Amino acid sequence: MRCYHSTVIPSLRWRIAAAAAVLGLLAAVLLQLQGPDPQLVSPAPTTVERSAGHTTPVEATAPETSTWAREPVEAPLPTDDTAAPGHAAASVPTGNGRNRLTGHVLLDTRIPAVDATVRIGRSTTTTDATGAFGFSRKGIGENDALIATLQGYEPAVIPYLARTPAFLDGSELEVVLPGPACGIDGWLVDSSGAPCQGWRLELFGGTDCGVISHPNLLVEDLAAGATVISPTGNQQWDPPTPIGNPNLRTIGADGTFRIGGLRRGHEYVLRAWHVRSLQTVFSRPVPAGTSNYVFVAELAPSRDRVWGHTVDKFGAAIAGVRVRLTMREHQAGGWVSYQTGQQVSSAADGSFAFTDVPRQDLLLRFDGNGVEGLHRELRAADDGTDLRVQLACSCRFRYEDSSRGTKATTLRMLDRDERPLHIIRRLEAGRTLGSTSAAIEDGRSPELEVNDTATWLELRAGREVVAKIPVRLERGNVNVLR
């Protein structure tokens, strides 16, 4: 009989245990390669912002497309639970990047809006055949709105674009034009029912889009096809005729009008005025889509005559001053556009007069050769009689050194409060050079001009004030200062 050593049994047990361990390891590797059973895994929720201040959990599964829809943004920047539908929608990032803002404009039918105009601040572009557009992010201001317009369609607006989540996270925008634009049509008549022929009528209360044009335009004007005239260095505009805005109408013999580009669900105020007297009337708020609206011009009382005189600081009459009876048509961002009703020139005795002036807030504007322009408010309660309008007059002068030995190299003219005044030097071919100082060479200055509010002549050598001389300037001849 063969006897087995007792250690043989433990050895076999070890081999069996090792084999089981290897099989278990192989099974674990196969499970890892196959992935977990989706029925047994609960995905961790993430969030997508849908409206300001609220989040909604969604499953962390891949979407069918590369973009997730966001709720539309409504003006002003939304803080409530919902945003008004149909104004503008933005989508989650698709690799848009931080230097370029891109997006698409669509019609309400989801068809690309081809040749739509997209504005951000004063920058403008046009969509291509796919409705795509793009802007550099660099020039987009914090308060700039995105405005998308296509003639015949209601405009889409994203106010405060730079504050929206879509802008901040670099998303591509999807901007939807809500549908065909609405209008308001009807008649402008006086209290007797007669058409107000020759009056002008415009959309007064609408959606502001900032200073993109001068005269200023509303979003609805752009949607109606208005032409943008970019502001220039001149912050005043006094057009003789209406310019490029279908919503600025001249009323014909039948009294009819139509205003377009309006947004559904909004109410609008219309303004109309007589082109000579500037008698102005405002409508009640009128819902977009209103037809056959009768706008009755209820006239304010009038002043029979507004009159006065233009004088210099010594009380002497100033003839030939242009005087305009004006209303401020639009004001935005420091820019003002005016509408002038009547214009006259002051007579030899400085007198001027206007007739049939409504008791409404208006403006008298004075300018002309040799005088500095002045605006004088004409309030509704002001009778506008015996007005004495003092104008600053331009005076010619030159400086000649009278052996003071000052060695002055420049001069300045100061008013009584010692504030520097603007000095003009006239050059050849009608050119002028303006500054608050002028050079002195060999003890003399060239012939210069400054207004007659100048009280002090200040002489300087470099930055050092070497003399300050009291002056009294008069119109007419060249004042020689020594």
Cβ pair 368, 321 in contact under 8 A: yes
* Residue 477 placed within a domain: yes
Partners of 449 in beta bridges: 396, 424
Structural domain including 89 reads: 68-176
User: Distance (Å, rounded) from C-alpha 372 to C-alpha 237?
Assistant: 18
Domain for residue 163, yes or no?
Answer: yes
Give the residue among 159, 117, 110, 119 at the shortest CA–CA distance from 139.
Answer: 119
User: Of 128, 159, 176, which one is at a domain's C-terminal end?
Assistant: 176
SS3 400: strand
User: Do 463 and 477 fall within a single domain?
Assistant: yes
**Distance from C-alpha of 416 to C-alpha of 412, rounded to nearest angstrom:** 13
| Residue 189 and residue 291 share a domain | yes
pLDDT 10s digit of each residue in the chain, 482 long? 323 233 333 343 444 444 555 455 554 444 444 443 333 222 322 222 222 233 222 222 222 322 222 223 333 333 333 333 333 333 333 344 568 899 999 999 999 999 999 988 878 899 999 999 999 988 888 888 899 999 889 999 998 898 998 888 888 899 999 999 999 999 999 999 999 999 999 998 888 776 666 567 888 988 888 877 665 544 444 444 445 888 999 999 999 999 999 999 999 999 999 999 999 999 999 999 999 999 999 988 999 999 999 999 889 999 999 999 999 887 665 667 788 999 999 999 999 999 999 999 999 999 998 888 899 999 999 999 999 999 989 899 999 887 666 688 999 999 999 999 999 998 887 788 889 999 998 888 999 999 888 999 999 998 899 889 999 998 888 999 98
CA distance 366 to 374: 5
Please indicate, yes or no, whether residues 138 and 201 belong to a single structural domain of this protein.
no
Distance CA 183, CA 153 (A): 11
Residue at 24 is within a domain: no
Domain for residue 34, yes or no? no
Identify whether 50 is part of a domain.
Answer: no
Last residue of a domain, one of 110, 145, 176: 176
The pTM score is 0.65
Does 103 reside within a domain?
A: yes
Same domain, 380 and 429: no
Same domain, 275 and 364: no
The alpha carbon of residue 323 and the mean position of all alpha carbons in its chain are separated, in whole angstroms, by 30
Do 291 and 188 fall into the same domain? yes
39: left (phi over 0), alpha (psi -120 to 50) or beta: alpha
Domain CATH for 129: 2.60.40.1120
Domains of the chain: total: 4
Choose one of 144, 176, 208: the last residue of a domain.
Answer: 176
| Per-position b or e across 310-321, b if 16+ CB within 10 A of its CB | bbbeeeeebeeb
By residue count, the chain amounts to 482
